[in-house]
Structure 1
Amino acid sequence: MFNSQSFIITPTIKIAYSKWFLIVLFLYTIVAYKSSGYHQEDEHYQLIEFANYKLGLVPEDRLAWEFKEQIRPGFQPMICYFFLKGFHLVGIHDGYTITFLLRAISGLFSIFVISRFVRVYRSYIDSSLQPYFFLLSYLLWFLPYINVRFSSENWSGLFFLLTLTIIEQFKNNQALKKYLFIGILLGISILFRYQSALLALGIVLWLLLVHKSKIRDVLTTSFIILTVLCLGMIFDYWLYGEITCTIYNYFNVNLIKGVSTSFGVSPFYEYIYYVITAPGPFGIFILLAFLIVSFYDPKNAIIWAITPFILIHSLIPHKELRFLFPIANVAPFLIFHAFLIIKNKLSASTLLINNKPVTILILTLFFIINCTGLIGIASTGAGTKRTAVTEWIHRNYGTDKLNIIIINVQNPYMDWGPPKNTYYSSSQVNLEYVNSIWQEDFLTHKKKGYKNLLVISDEDITGERAIQRLKTFHLVKVYKNIPDFLTIVYRFYDPDMNDLRLNVYEFE
């Protein structure tokens, strides 16, 4: 039998749970609600719209090109399908509400998985630091944003985190069940996102070379992974209506045919840049923590898993920040583990670690920086933040006949076609496009009998004269997708988040 003692909660951890768990739950719910839309299009078009297709709501010819190429695994679209079917049965059909619920479910599952991970890995952390480790594991400022995503990257990463939990929890146990569970969890992780096979490769190598598992047990884990992937073909058949091997299709299309490079090519060091810059002020600490743990604790299973994942991703020309999301949740552990390694290696006088005022000052500074980041990600929408605009309009003018004047083609609606967007399109409103507010016929684009709105970016409000002109038209600002105070926060954390600042004005 497995040793369940590793799940016993110490008094310190128990206090932390009882004091902070509701705060964590509340913050994740807020982020899920405010994080309108998607971080990247695949999160919507290759999951929700595929599920809507199976529900008969979207024709096949309006789906993303990935459907025709059959490169998307059917596992997560099937999960989404049953969620949507359940929502529809209880009368929930509003797309914005449905996507919020999907994010909320993702957030709840993330909290569950992180709680398991923290309880097991707390043994690496000094008891005095365990409450901070607990909090940072949930609330490192960018983690709630990632963990509420109903995306392949997030769900794959969560099952990878469960795998690490099983490995650490039962590291001294050689029972066959352990290897079965590892194989199942890794297989599911790969079914969500095929690139996570690199994480599985690292784990299998660790089992064989570091953990010194029996060849039979390593082969068992590998066989179970392959079995889960073969079972994935059942979900693929459900989605595409014919027998296909999506994992082969995926690598054939993106790597052999090189289709992925048409979406952009980056240098091999791009992920180092992402690690340093994307987490804001914490980026350099995450990179240093990874290097320190790799050097001083090279046999750690986490290092063995994420190293080939990063290295091989770095060799692939097309790179995106979201490709790192599956390993984001290990960042707090690496930070604390690295800190304690350095503390033990160097003298306290060198690091001023035992200097209480210095420690309090450092912790206070980190707390302020992290809370500021949390406020930032909990205050507006996901990705380009366009959908935050359309959701606000939907919530506030849902029953009105709307005429929206769009300046400089900055349409917040996702009116592509194909692929068809069933949730965030402008099908229920009338759009009028103008080049600028200085056009002589600007007011002719208003429509009688409609509620008239103006959508304009900060870049198109060129100065005080432009503001005065808006006032002469009796336009009143009613919404901004990035509040003014957040532009300062984003400039400090990641200036790219300020790329599209849209304002909504209403004609009085």
Structure 2
Amino acid sequence: MIQPIIPETNMRAQNLFKSTNYRLFILLVIIFYLLVAYKSSGYHQEDEHYQLIEFANYKLGLVPENRLAWEFKEQIRPGFQPMICFYLLKGFHLVGIDDGYIITFLLRAISGLFSIFVIGKFVKVYKSNFGTSLQPCFIFLSYVLWFLPYINVRFSSETWSGLFFLLTLTIIEQFKNTEALKKYLFIGILLGISILFRYQSALLAVGIILWLLLIHKSKIKDVLTSAFIIFIVLCLGMVFDYWLYGEFTCTIYNYFNVNLIKGVSTSFGVSPFYEYIYYVITAPGPFGIFILLAFLVVSFYDPKHIIIWAIVPFILIHSLIPHKELRFLFPIANVVPFLIVYAFMITKNKLKDSTLLITNKPVSIIVLTLLLTINCTGLIAIASTGAGTKRTVVTEWIHRKYGTEKLNIIIVNVQNPYMDWGPPKNTYYSSSTVNLNYVNSIWQEDFLTHKKKGYKNLLVISDEDITGERAISLLKSFHLVKVYQNIPDFLSIVYRFYDPSMNDLRLNVYDFQ
């Protein structure tokens, strides 16, 4: 059996993982991740729901084929994760859990708990890259760099693919001083599974394979073993695809044929080559510039590092593809804390004899305090509202508050939180149990005629449709009382500094009383 090699000088760090404080920290992390999973109602992007949960619901007989997303007909979605979802949903149904909001929370909770497990394995192995003074910072950021819990609770292909990529890095680092066959078998299995969750992660696999061959100087037969195992896992994926589609098909070929050769993905938007640089700088808030600088520092001073070799092809090829989305970077999000702390260590060593202001201890304390405050603010933000467009959290609140009551919901300016489309079918978040009434404005003369007798009448209205004090007075004259808003006031203030356009997503629910 392969045993990890643990330097004797690192025993103090080993004791850290056995300490009461560390266990308390992990308990708090678990509680926080579950809180984020609960509050992060809905999905970050539609694929998280329509190409996973609804495909599983189709196999459960709850959704007809003609109400599925177009990707089903094109057979471009791998069947692996929908199959996992299918059996999880089947288990939930067996124990009497049929509420869609509870089911999706449980899926996010499972993702969050698995993320904590994987991150724990990763930090336990990679902490040896740092001195004992930096290890607590590395551990802290690996779990709770502000945007990571939000990403890690997603039951999405990006998140799960990234977790198996992280496990691959863990295996390679843990067994870096051994060339046993078992090591390369595990590498192949984990990378293969990562690709089965999301085909674009093949780019991460290419980078790792090249690193093993050219930098680690692994034997060609060992590297070929990993590559062959990846191929076997992908072939096994065709069995899962058969389960989903009812016929043998090669979804990985279909995916690249439809999206790249036929160019269907470009119909969803085209962005310039540098778009991902923009995402990295802006999406994490004030941490963005530090992430970019960390990547540049590590790339310059340690260009042979496996993480650099893995993510550079991934980012480069994604940058060449016209259609770009922030979520496409999610599979590599969990290596960001390592890059930040590693880059800090490199910079500190390079500047240890420097008289620059940034080496001054009081200045460093002020900067770190500011960053910690920003990080805590971000953590509070992600634990305070729903995912993505933050609409589903409105429907969940209505569902929880009013249960089976007959509801008539007046919606201003087509701000429908239920997001009912034609195909694809929205099983969990549809308005099939409520009556919807659309109005252009609360000022229109027949506004009150949209109320229905015998129903609980609610109003859903965005901030931009409440145009000032006169509008607020009008709402009061209609005996409308605000009972819910999807973005809390304090978070709205945060958004003004982070991204003011986020406040455009705020919806308010009023009750006729």
Counterpart of 1:157?
162
Which residue of 114, 122, 131 corresponds with 1:126? 131
Say yes or no: does 1:36 pair with 2:28. Answer: no
Say yes or no: does 1:57 pair with 2:57. Answer: no
- Equivalent residues in 2 for 1:161-176, closer than 5 Å: 161-176=166-181
- Give the deviation of 1:348 after TM superposition: 4.7
Counterpart of 1:360?
365
- Equivalent residues in 2 for 1:29-428, closer than 5 Å: 29-351=34-356, 355-428=360-433
Counterpart of 1:24?
29
Say yes or no: does 1:11 pair with 2:23. Answer: no
Counterpart of 1:485?
490
In 2, Cα distance between the equivalents of 1:463 and 1:424? 31
- Give the deviation of 1:484 after TM superposition: 1.5
Any conservation in 1 of the 2:5–2:174 contact (CA below 8 Å)? no
Say yes or no: does 1:471 pair with 2:445. Answer: no
- Give the share of equivalent positions with the same residue, in percent: 83
- Give the deviation of 1:363 after TM superposition: 2.1
Any conservation in 1 of the 2:352–2:359 contact (CA below 8 Å)? no
Partner SS for 2:18: helix
- Give the deviation of 1:262 after TM superposition: 0.1
Partner SS for 1:26: helix
Q: Which amino acid aligns with 2:233?
A: V
In 2, Cα distance between the equivalents of 1:242 and 1:168? 40
Deviates more, 1:491-500 or 1:408-417: 491-500
In 1, Cα distance between the equivalents of 2:398 and 2:159? 29
In 2, Cα distance between the equivalents of 1:292 and 1:13? 29
- Give the deviation of 1:495 after TM superposition: 3.4
Which residue of 443, 449, 454 corresponds with 2:448? 443
Q: Which amino acid aligns with 1:196?
A: S
Q: Which amino acid aligns with 2:2?
A: F
In 2, Cα distance between the equivalents of 1:289 and 1:503? 40
Q: Which amino acid aligns with 1:302?
A: I
- Give the deviation of 1:4 after TM superposition: 3.1
Any conservation in 1 of the 2:63–2:425 contact (CA below 8 Å)? yes
In 2, Cα distance between the equivalents of 1:368 and 1:94? 37
Partner SS for 2:445: coil
TM-score (norm 1): 0.98
In 1, Cα distance between the equivalents of 2:64 and 2:316? 40
In 1, Cα distance between the equivalents of 2:488 and 2:348? 41
In 1, Cα distance between the equivalents of 2:476 and 2:449? 17
Partner SS for 1:452: strand
Deviations 1:106-159 (A, max 9, x none): 000000000000001101112012112111101000000000000000000000
In 2, Cα distance between the equivalents of 1:351 and 1:13? 35
Partner SS for 1:280: coil
Q: Which amino acid aligns with 1:431?
A: L
In 2, Cα distance between the equivalents of 1:403 and 1:409? 15
In 2, Cα distance between the equivalents of 1:45 and 1:179? 35
- Give the deviation of 1:354 after TM superposition: 6.3
- Give the deviation of 1:353 after TM superposition: 6.6
In 2, Cα distance between the equivalents of 1:351 and 1:208? 40
Provide structure 1 residue ranges, at least 5 long, that are not aligned to the other structure.
none
Partner SS for 1:173: coil
Any conservation in 2 of the 1:279–1:493 contact (CA below 8 Å)? no
- Give the deviation of 1:499 after TM superposition: 3.0
Any conservation in 2 of the 1:12–1:130 contact (CA below 8 Å)? no
Q: Which amino acid aligns with 1:11?
A: N
TM-score (norm 2): 0.97
Any conservation in 1 of the 2:463–2:504 contact (CA below 8 Å)? no
Aligned length: 508
Q: CA RMSD in A?
A: 1.3
In 2, Cα distance between the equivalents of 1:495 and 1:217? 52
Provide structure 2 residue ranges, at least 5 long, that are not aligned to the other structure.
none
